[in-house]
Structure 1
């Protein structure tokens, strides 16, 4: 892509760094948690937008339409060992997002990309930074240790992409900013989870009791 340059010769592409996924389902929240941490620890020029895309699907379309470049951060099922990270660009991005759908959020985001392409408003540069999840079926759970260990290295990858691909440097914040809503910030969300003894994680105990007694 030919980037517009200002008088200093630095690229001025509008870059959207988008974390997608559902934080309620363990490792599926990897993309959101990574961009959340990136925004808390780093500042960027106005040309860079950091966004928690969650599972918003087509509601993200206007944000893609206004970007020259898109960096998607997500948990991707590559069929590789948990915690494996891969970076893809260009046409490989929609291909990998659709290869093994883990949940509806990936179906929804494929539709976003397809719609943007159909309208001729898709970002010219597409980059996917994906990490293989370990667990997706723990409702209310946080990131597993294996995947959580990839948050910091993945931020380093994103910083490198911004620097090497777009000539954009981040500036570390002197003190980490709390950018997520308090109730769903990672520390509070994961630390406040009730124990398995206090909150049954396999179903309603009243139903389980009826089943064990042989009642319908």
Structure 2
């Protein structure tokens, strides 16, 4: 029997900054491959910060995918659970979205609506300073592993996902889906990815 507890699987990060997009690409891959029951929400949280609070406070169980600076070798996957999650998100912030999500968790606790169980599945990024870039191979290869962790986590909570059939569409067919993003992205020789060239110091 499937669990009827409210479950949220959340990917956070900015997919426009290379490995910062790991969390978003994980939820995209999960949603593309697996159909989930109505009590499970799979959400691209992007960099929305406190706007995610209503979703978090409604969830009894929460799984978060994110790129996290653990101080480990690039591409290393690490699981963190429960009360340790805010500490890891705040230890070495890579971007404002992590500050925002720390505030979400703190607010949920103050409201006494903190999830009963919380799991962070994070990967140590390889590259962030690549505007318009995509996941580096060492990080990209961890997406299927992250999905397997999510499936095991769901199973432990009584949820049995259904594998989507070939050709069955998921909810996300946007221009920022990974296939469209990869195919439509200019080559780095044609578009600078480390900032606005107008503000680079001139070299002689």
TM interval, shorter chain, is: over 0.9
Once residues 197 and 122 of structure 2 are traced to their aligned partners in structure 1, the CA distance between those partners, rounded to angstroms, is 37
Structure 1 partner of 2:129:
137
Once residues 8 and 180 of structure 2 are traced to their aligned partners in structure 1, the CA distance between those partners, rounded to angstroms, is 27
Q: Which has the larger radius of gyration?
A: 1
Gaps of 5+ in 2: none
1:177 positional shift: 2.6
1:88 lines up with 2:80 in the alignment: yes
Once residues 99 and 136 of structure 1 are traced to their aligned partners in structure 2, the CA distance between those partners, rounded to angstroms, is 17
Gaps of 5+ in 1: 1-7
Residues 39 and 177, structure 1, Cα contact 8 Å, conserved in 2: no
Q: 1:147 is matched with which residue: 139, 143, 164?
A: 139
Structure 2 partner of 1:167:
158
1:88 positional shift: 1.4
Structure 2 partner of 1:4:
none
Structure 1 partner of 2:67:
75
> In angstroms, what is the RMSD of aligned CA positions?
1.8
Residues 132 and 193, structure 2, Cα contact 8 Å, conserved in 1: no
- For this pair of structures, how many residues does the alignment match? 203
Moved more, 144-153 or 170-179: 170-179
Structure 1 partner of 2:90:
98
Q: CA 1:202 to 1:70, structure 2 compared with 1: closer, same or farther past 3 Å?
A: closer
When normalised by structure 1's length, the TM-score is 0.88
Once residues 139 and 29 of structure 1 are traced to their aligned partners in structure 2, the CA distance between those partners, rounded to angstroms, is 11
- Residue 211 of structure 1 aligns to a residue whose secondary structure is coil
Once residues 128 and 203 of structure 1 are traced to their aligned partners in structure 2, the CA distance between those partners, rounded to angstroms, is 30
When normalised by structure 2's length, the TM-score is 0.92
Q: CA 1:122 to 1:206, structure 2 compared with 1: closer, same or farther past 3 Å?
A: closer
